[in-house]
Amino acid sequence: MISPSTFRDLVSGRRRGLGATVLRSLLRLGELPYTWAMRIRNRRYDRGTAQTHLVDVPVVCVGNLTMGGTGKTPMVEWVARHYRERGIRVSIVSRGYRAGEDGRNDESLELELALPDVRHLQNVDRVAAAEAAIDELETELILLDDGFQHRRLERDLDIVLLDATEPFGYQHVFPRGTLREPLCGLSRADVVVLSRADMLAREARDAVKRQAEQLAPQALWCEVEHAPRALISSEGDCQPCDTLAGKRVAAFCGIGNPAGFRHTLESLGAKLVAWREFADHHCTTRDDVASLVAWAADAELAICTRKDLVKLQIESIGKVPLRALSVELQFSAGEQALREKLDSVTISL
């Protein structure tokens, strides 16, 4: 299995040569039936021939147009905090992709750590999960995590994140690109958020905004940055991020798009002496940890994402201390307008 970065180098065209060209042509063949299937599915919902389900409380969805790695979890956390600060009982509902034996996946564990007062229900049948949250937990608002392509559950607001490193999935649907559905699907969005906006110059940001406005002219436009907040240990100890400056760091991650994580570490002055990528939602094994011990031996500090740390729950990789880089959203455009939209959803509560 190729790494996320290698896959993106291939589908973006950055990888050159005859072999890469042939591979892209083969992936293009796989793209065609998947695109056709998504178009047919969306058309059924648009025309009302596919059944949707309306629940008794407002539903706010946070999702992606592309495959993973857009910074969706920090946005889910931000939206949940917005409502909790207003005293609204929120439950997060998600599919629970690659959940462990306990029925939870890494995103659930991460959100549980960040939002101890917000329940998270994971179920392939998200309609059933939403109804259970309302009936059994007295939930006043459902926050649908990673649900933009899940159209069975009706929602009051759709927030769609575009990652600055690949906002439109290299213009191709998976597997030829990283789009989950054709670009025209963005027309359903009520809010479009450019994440990691600081990775693009203003001119490039404006170009992305113009294309998004053509696809979703009615949508509110927002821009956010993933600001490093702290280095945390599995036991909850915190250190300031500036302690990374000049340190020899071994960094690894199992997320959808590692480029943003690496960019943040380098912007903090870390000297990356080792770098390793696992697949998104990778279930870390004892063999993985054993292999990381030798790999990180020359580093002063091992760094992963919070999503990785909640799965590992260890303080060090061999003799090298292990910390997770915790990030928080900072808006550079659209924050107040988004808060007003979120409040308008709950005006009757």
Tens digit of pLDDT for each residue in 237-262? 889 999 899 999 999 988 877 888 89
pLDDT band at 201 (very low <50, low <70, confident <90, very high): very high
Q: Helices 18-47 and 4-12 meet at what angle, rounded to 10?
A: 90
β-pairing, 90-94 with 141-145? parallel
Mean pLDDT of 150-169: 95
Distance CA 187, CA 210 (A): 14
Distance CA 155, CA 160 (A): 13
Residues 121, 143 contacting (CB under 8 angstroms): no
Sign of CA dihedral 270, 276, 279, 282: negative
Question: What are the residue ranges spanned by the domains of the chain?
Answer: 4-37, 59-226+330-345, 227-329
Is it true that 59-226+330-345 and 227-329 share their CATH fold? yes
What is the CATH superfamily name and number for domain 59-226+330-345?
Answer: P-loop containing nucleotide triphosphate hydrolases (3.40.50.300)
So what's the pLDDT on residue 101?
53
pLDDT in tens, 266-294: 999 999 999 998 887 777 778 888 888 98
Cα radius of gyration rounded to whole Å, the chain: 20
The class that CATH gives domain 227-329 is alpha beta
Q: What is the pTM of this model?
A: 0.88
Sign of CA dihedral 101, 102, 106, 108: positive
